[in-house]
Amino acid sequence: MDQQVRTKVGRYIYAVVPATLDWPDSLSGIGGENVYTVSEGRLTAVVSDVADTRIRPERQNLAAHQNVLRQLMEHTAVLPMRFGIVAGTDQSIRNILSLNQDALLEQLQRVAAKAEMGLRVTWDVPNIFDYIVNTHPELRAARDYFFRGNREPSHEEKIELGRMFERILNEDRDAHTARVEEVLSPHCHEIKRNRCRSEREVMNLACLVGREAQAQFEEAVFEAAKLFDNNFTFDYNGPWAPHNFVEINLGL
């Protein structure tokens, strides 16, 4: 790609890819800027010019970032950068690629011909505390004891009840997640458990799946869902660039 004279203050970095990238035509990035490459050795950084070193996480910017990654994934293995990474010059990018050549090449090999699929499972119940209480005699007995005779539990008793709820909630999460992972594992290279973002969330899994196995993975999700009753909702998404399975620290 022709690299014209650029007057912008920084280079926004979308991803690191192999230097053998089969480049997609007319790819636009954040702000509609032309996307180009900066290469060093066997690695290439995919970038576009920006006028500010701080890029706001607005919807249009996030969408542009994801669009570049999605199109790159159709052509090559991708090490995606997190949103908002800006370098000063092309030469600074080349220096970083040179210093991290072996580590980045190793990670590219790890994710080659693979994509990330997400699976989020939630409890679909009116009140998660009532649901957990009603499905666990130990917690129900403690609740009934602390509230016996319509008394108001002490502060310490409320804390104890809350701790019991959290412990049982997390034990249920671990048990349910293990059941799902057993079904999904034959169709995944790796599975990562991400932190649950709310009390109703049972699991938030990132799955590294071979491109040729995505249909089998989706079928496995439906098989796993059959192990659960209507109090659970399964929601899978992807394919995405493998954000959860790469570790890039370019020191920028």
Which CATH architecture describes the domain 115-244? Answer: 2-Layer Sandwich (3.30)
* Count of CB atoms situated within 10 Å of the CB of 65: 24
249 CA to centre of own chain? 17
Q: For the whole model, what pTM was predicted?
A: 0.86
Domain ranges of the chain: 10-112, 115-244
| pLDDT per residue of the chain (252 residues) written in tens, 0 to 9 | 434 444 577 999 999 999 987 776 678 999 999 999 999 999 999 999 998 888 999 999 999 999 999 999 988 999 999 999 999 899 999 999 999 999 999 999 999 999 999 999 999 999 999 999 999 999 999 989 988 888 888 889 889 999 999 999 999 999 999 999 999 999 999 999 999 999 999 999 999 999 999 999 999 999 999 999 999 999 999 999 999 999 876 655
Size of the chain in residues: 252
157 CB-contact burial (10 Å; exposed 0-12 / middle 13-18 / buried 19+)? middle
